Amino acid sequence: MQRLKITSLPRWISEIHLKQFFHSCGTIVEAKVVLDQNTLRPLGLGYLTFANDLAMHKALAKSGSLLDGAVIHVAIDTGEEEVLAIDPEAVLDLAE
């Protein structure tokens, strides 16, 4: 079973809402919405694991769909973290 990564989720989304949106794809084994450690509010990122590949592919087809006004993106989770690249020189320019 592969895990899917869902990005651009609405900031109020819960695991229950995430499951409800994807339930038509098939049996969900696990659903997780990532929360900010300080505020405990959703960060707009979630993960889903389905019971079989057919369900996973149906969920992948929902990429680009609207979920409560937000266009979500669904992809196979590669395990890689998204890192925001910051130009140190640009930060120094802002400090001046």
Domain positions in the chain are 3-78
Residue partners of 32: CB distance under 8 A and separation at least 6: 15, 46, 47, 48
Fold of 3-78: Alpha-Beta Plaits (3.30.70)
The pLDDT value recorded for residue 22 is 98
The whole-model pTM stands at: 0.80
- 8 Å CB contact between 1 and 55: no
Whole-angstrom distance, CA of residue 18 vs CA of residue 74: 12
Beta carbons within 10 angstroms of residue 96's beta carbon? 4
Average pLDDT on 20-37 reads 96
The DSSP annotation for 45-68 comes to EEEEEESSHHHHHHHHTTTT-EET
Cα dihedral 32, 34, 37, 40 sign? negative
Query: Mind listing the pLDDT tens digit for each residue in 74-92?
Result: 999 988 765 444 445 544 4
Q: Which residues pair with 42 in a beta bridge?
A: 35
